[in-house]
Structure 1
Amino acid sequence: MPALSEGQEPAAVSAPPAGVPAAAAASGTQIPPREAAAARRASLDALFDETFTRYRLPGLAVGVVENGQVVFKRTAGETRAGSGEAVTAETVFKIASNSKAMTTALLARLADAGRLDWSDPVRKYLPRFRMNDDWVTREIQLRDLLIHNSGLRAGAGDLMLWPEPNHFSRADVLAGLAHLKPAYSFRSRYAYDNLLYIVAGEAAAAAGGASYEELLRREVFQPLGLRRCQVGEWRRDEVGNVAQPHMRKDERNIVIRADDKVIPAMASAAAGGVRCSLDDMLRWAQVWLDAETAGADGRPWLSRSQREVLWTAQIAMPLGERQRRWDNAHFSAYGYGWRLSDVDGTLKVSHTGTLAGMYSVLTLLPEKRVGFVVLINGDGSEARTVLNQVLVKHYSAPQQGVSVAALAGELARERGPAAAADKAAPARSPVKPREAAQWSGIYRDAWFGDVEICPQRSTVYFRAAKSPRLSGPLLRQDGRLLVDWDDDSVDAEPWLDFAPAADGKPAGLRLAHVDPGADFSYDYPDLDFVRVGDCGRGG
């Protein structure tokens, strides 16, 4: 068969479309286009319905692109449980870390325009930028901001970003980096990072001569027609049709962290603060599956050389046993804002996005000219994993007949029996003010700021000055102190370990996860508090 030039469509794909019987494809039987499309639609409808029902999601939006065309688009559920407002293809969801690929695309546009180079030192654009190590400060390049090789532990400093909203600014983030001590050598290994994407956004702003938000709208949203995507400050009711995040509680979907009328600009925008609709994300998928995509001016939106850079493996990622088993994968790496791996002999380019009550995934199989998007506004971690994997296998190995039920069952077996059902929760008791007299006071961390541990009526409360959702009473469990956060959506409780001092009052405070498996963005190990004052007096 003669080689195809770039951008030329093959006469047939190597695997049958989803839903086309593998036996028919293997026998060479020609499936009429209309029947093939109907079979594909029925198969994808079944996957969608089973996922939505099995996981009792408040809202779900799914779309598939084949050969440049949207061939499947389904939505179900509500933007806010009980509201009656249906999720549609124009509903705006938080895409969380899928924002990272938009940030790297913005930098690539600036590179195409000659405004920056990937190997430029960060301090060329941000002279006051500092890491904890002076050598790293001098040597770190723009490219290093994007590939999770800084030497910081996974999620370092994320408490300046989440739980949201909080009072940390981008200036706070940049200043805080100087106080975050590395866990590994610079450029020695992969450890997922969010803060340096914020630095990348600020470097883009310096190179582009406008704010990150203005540049993203100008260089990405507008030329590509991503008309519902939102970044920066905007008004909820003017935009309309905005999905709210949910958590599962008492067998119901409960709205958490609901938007106010004005959605403020977020410090974390470049790392995970963009919101888009299903239609926008399908357009975004089409852009990456078509190297000839033009902007609104009719010229190429991004050069081929910059596209290649973004999808070039920059640092190796761990290749887990499940990924080897499910994908028959041989490599896993991070590009610029994209995860790269192989599945059944074909390239997979993807990223996920996770925020409290919001889950997204965008997956591309470029050699098959296929891509798909999943957006969820509830507790959707497993639903995202399962549905995305079934969609991948429907195109990479349709003959395997991978199903939602089979993968869900496998994950249930991995988890094992539900410990909570078999074991009573440990006894906890409130800490009384007189019991906590020696611990009460104001504590300060160099990057996180102040917290107070002070009496409140008959209890003792922990309050973070710049992160209002990190507030709750002290409890005692098994002889140790912990904080039970008031906000149920903040699901990682910390142990409190006080360092003694000669005068009987603690000199400092460290936090540790009660649940060792808690999300790494609750980066308690990076906190090192020093006592600076008494309750009511400050430092």
Structure 2
Amino acid sequence: MEVTPDRRALLKTIGLGAAGVASVSLLTSCTGGVAAQSSSAQPSPSLLPAPPGQIEPLLDHAKVTSALDQLDGLVNDSMEKTGLPGMAVAVVYQDEVVYSKGFGVREVGKPDKIGPDTVFKLASVSKPLASTVVAGVVGRKLIQWTDPVIKYDTGFALKDDYVTKNASFADLLSHRSGLKTASGDLLEDLGFDRTYILGHINQEPLDTFRASYNYSNFGYTAGGEAAAKAMKMSWEDLADAVLFKPLGMSASSYRNADYEKASDKAIIHVPVGNKQWAAKYHRDADSEAPAGGASSTIRDLAQWLRLQLGGGTYESRPVIDPAALQETHVPQSISGPASAPAARSRFYGLGWNVSYDDQARVQLGHSGAFNLGTATSVAMLPGEQLAIVALTNGRPQGIPEAITAGFLDAVQHGKPTVDWLSFTADVFHKLDESEKPKVDYTKAPANPAPAKSNENYTGTYDNPYYGPLVVLDSDGKLAMKMGPADNPTTFPLTHFDGDTFSFESIGENANGLAGALFAASKDGTSPSVTLDFYDRTGLGTFTRAS
């Protein structure tokens, strides 16, 4: 079935900053591959009639069972076509975990299998978990969604004083504070901790307050931190107390150390060739824990999905206030305005992407991804009491999104109506292409201008955002050192052209070689250097101090 350019543009919202963002529900509700279901479809007789204003359920056990029977095939096919090392999938329907299974291996080259209790890094699926935690604090009447976060975290600050004084929990958790996408992410890549990053995002330029949508990991993290301060707890302890312990989610944590010490964990992988993967990196997301630092299993996440579908009730026990939780499911920001009169807009709630399908049913979803080796996806049809979560141990290529979208498609239409794996892979490929550096430093000029002597460039350069940069001469070769004082990163410099050198970018946002552009000198020493990779929001110029 044809996919229009408008729909392709829509699906570009799937892709990824440091922790990533997406709604798999977009894949099923807003593409041409899903036909409208007949309005004559009958709800399950076991379900009570919907209240006024609520859509009648259209699914029944037979349809769900038929789709479940196809899930093994969807997963095995995606793994065979991509070589993905491992995946785990769980489905919840009408408060029952009706599917929970692992596939493949925890690490390439080793025999240990993935199972329901294998711990995965969740990346941005951490966000709807986090909004559940904050809803728990709201339900305790200690905060309100509309409260300014500075009321509880007096150190919170953004570039504009008005925004600093008025930005609420809802503003930060729905990405409408004006803080731009990727603000703080490069500090994280350098190894700075949460305190440093949140203390420096006030230098980041802002978009329009409450009238713009910019996916921000550290804006989200600031909201989570403020909720924890309201409870006089750390974020990690708060999540344990409010969510993980009440639901018996014993394998879940917002601490990287807990993931590392787990005996049954999925190691992260990146592709290294055709259907070939390698475990090359480690990813510590403690600095952005509320936004991307959670780890969990499908067994645990299935309990969380039961809580979500149960409106805050778990095994007949109230755990999260239903009104506070429902607020997380309501559109708060327009994440993608309709591009045509007949097109649908896309929304972001509080930690959830929110959309509506052809039958006007609410669909909630979120994806997570670390470019260093993790991709995850969760999707819910709350009115149908149906949810699915897919976790993988490979770099984002649209694989978990294809599984969740394919399952929801099969539930509604008997079988998938789109080759979802090819479709999502194409979207992610285009996202990767769009993130390539503007200057290709792998292609040196045919006749480059010579560099000056090393003494022209060496010295210490100051930057209020990134901290000091030291350019040094090591056995006749230049290098630069930057990052936390107790653990800086050294970047070898390679001459490119004139006063420009190249270096290898690092971290979650790395995209190959970047440039160090030294300003021309008048007295034999360069007065400043601009690092183009770190200058995305105009903060990448370092001024000579010595």
TM-score by structure 2 length? Answer: 0.79
Deviation for aligned residue 1:78: 1.8
Counterpart amino acid of residue 385 in structure 1:
E
Determine the structure 1 residue equivalent to 2:142: 115
Alpha-carbon spacing, 1:393–1:130, altered in 2? closer, same or farther (3 Å): same
Deviation for aligned residue 1:53: 1.0
Out of 350, 355, 366, which is 1:351 matched to? 366
Contact 2:397–2:429 (8 Å) recurs in 1: no
Give secondary structure in 2 for the equivalent of 1:178: helix
**C-alpha separation in 1, matches of 2:449 and 2:405:** 46
Q: How does 1:151-300 map to 2 (within 5 A)?
A: 151-162=178-189, 166=191, 168-182=192-206, 184-232=207-255, 234=257, 239-251=262-274, 252-258=276-282, 266-291=286-311, 293-294=313-314, 299-300=317-318
Give secondary structure in 2 for the equivalent of 1:449: coil
Deviation for aligned residue 1:275: 0.3
Determine the structure 2 residue equivalent to 1:379: 395
Return 85-94 or 264-273, whichever deviates more: 264-273
**C-alpha separation in 2, matches of 1:128 and 1:414:** 39
Deviation for aligned residue 1:178: 2.0
Determine the structure 2 residue equivalent to 1:146: 173
Contact 2:396–2:428 (8 Å) recurs in 1: no
Contact 1:474–1:483 (8 Å) recurs in 2: yes
Alpha-carbon spacing, 1:342–1:508, altered in 2? closer, same or farther (3 Å): farther
Deviation for aligned residue 1:364: 0.6
Contact 2:369–2:395 (8 Å) recurs in 1: no
Deviation for aligned residue 1:76: 1.7
Counterpart amino acid of residue 314 in structure 2:
A
Contact 1:205–1:211 (8 Å) recurs in 2: yes
Determine the structure 2 residue equivalent to 1:518: none
Determine the structure 2 residue equivalent to 1:364: 380
Q: Can you list the C-alpha shifts for 1:397-456, whole angstroms capped at 9, x where unaligned?
A: 446622346536865997999xx9xxx995349999865543333233212222233223
Counterpart amino acid of residue 333 in structure 1:
F
Determine the structure 1 residue equivalent to 2:6: none
Determine the structure 2 residue equivalent to 1:28: none
**C-alpha separation in 2, matches of 1:55 and 1:474:** 36
- Is 1:87 aligned with 2:111? no
Deviation for aligned residue 1:396: 4.1
- Is 1:132 aligned with 2:150? no
- Is 1:509 aligned with 2:533? no
Larger RCO: Structure 1 or Structure 2 (Cα < 8 Å, ≥ 6 residues apart)? 2
Counterpart amino acid of residue 153 in structure 2:
L
Determine the structure 1 residue equivalent to 2:15: none
Return 99-108 or 424-433, whichever deviates more: 424-433
- Is 1:304 aligned with 2:304? no
**C-alpha separation in 1, matches of 2:329 and 2:428:** 34
Determine the structure 2 residue equivalent to 1:14: 58
Return 356-365 or 101-110, whichever deviates more: 101-110
Deviation for aligned residue 1:469: 8.5
Contact 2:373–2:396 (8 Å) recurs in 1: yes
Deviation for aligned residue 1:524: 3.6
Give secondary structure in 2 for the equivalent of 1:381: coil
Long gaps (5+) in structure 2: 1-41
Return 435-444 or 353-362, whichever deviates more: 435-444
Contact 2:256–2:293 (8 Å) recurs in 1: no
Out of 531, 534, 538, which is 2:543 matched to? 531
Deviation for aligned residue 1:387: 2.5
Determine the structure 1 residue equivalent to 2:423: 407
Return 363-372 or 246-255, whichever deviates more: 246-255
Alpha-carbon spacing, 1:523–1:451, altered in 2? closer, same or farther (3 Å): same
- Is 1:475 aligned with 2:494? yes
Counterpart amino acid of residue 440 in structure 1:
T
Contact 2:398–2:428 (8 Å) recurs in 1: no
Out of 491, 511, 518, which is 1:491 matched to? 511
Contact 1:155–1:523 (8 Å) recurs in 2: no
Out of 477, 482, 503, which is 1:464 matched to? 482
Give secondary structure in 1 for the equivalent of 2:461: strand
**C-alpha separation in 2, matches of 1:523 and 1:344:** 43
Alpha-carbon spacing, 1:473–1:207, altered in 2? closer, same or farther (3 Å): same
Contact 1:106–1:219 (8 Å) recurs in 2: yes
Return 406-415 or 364-373, whichever deviates more: 406-415
Q: How does 1:295-334 map to 2 (within 5 A)?
A: 299-318=317-336, 330-334=344-348
Deviation for aligned residue 1:226: 1.1
- Is 1:427 aligned with 2:443? yes
Contact 2:67–2:414 (8 Å) recurs in 1: no
Give secondary structure in 2 for the equivalent of 1:267: helix
Long gaps (5+) in structure 1: 21-35, 514-521, 535-539
Contact 2:398–2:421 (8 Å) recurs in 1: no
**C-alpha separation in 2, matches of 1:141 and 1:409:** 36
Counterpart amino acid of residue 247 in structure 2:
L
Return 246-255 or 79-88, whichever deviates more: 246-255
Q: Can you list the C-alpha shifts for 1:23-70, whole angstroms capped at 9, x where unaligned?
A: xxxxxxxxxxxxx84x44441111011111111111111222222222
**C-alpha separation in 2, matches of 1:175 and 1:257:** 27
The number of residues matched between the two structures is 487
Deviation for aligned residue 1:486: 7.2
Determine the structure 2 residue equivalent to 1:340: 354
**C-alpha separation in 1, matches of 2:389 and 2:419:** 18
Give secondary structure in 2 for the equivalent of 1:153: coil
Alpha-carbon spacing, 1:426–1:123, altered in 2? closer, same or farther (3 Å): closer
**C-alpha separation in 2, matches of 1:476 and 1:405:** 42
Alpha-carbon spacing, 1:41–1:399, altered in 2? closer, same or farther (3 Å): closer
TM-score by structure 1 length? Answer: 0.80
**C-alpha separation in 2, matches of 1:444 and 1:243:** 40
CA RMSD of aligned residues (A): 3.6
Determine the structure 2 residue equivalent to 1:519: none
The sequence identity of aligned pairs, in percent, is: 24
Return 268-277 or 303-312, whichever deviates more: 303-312
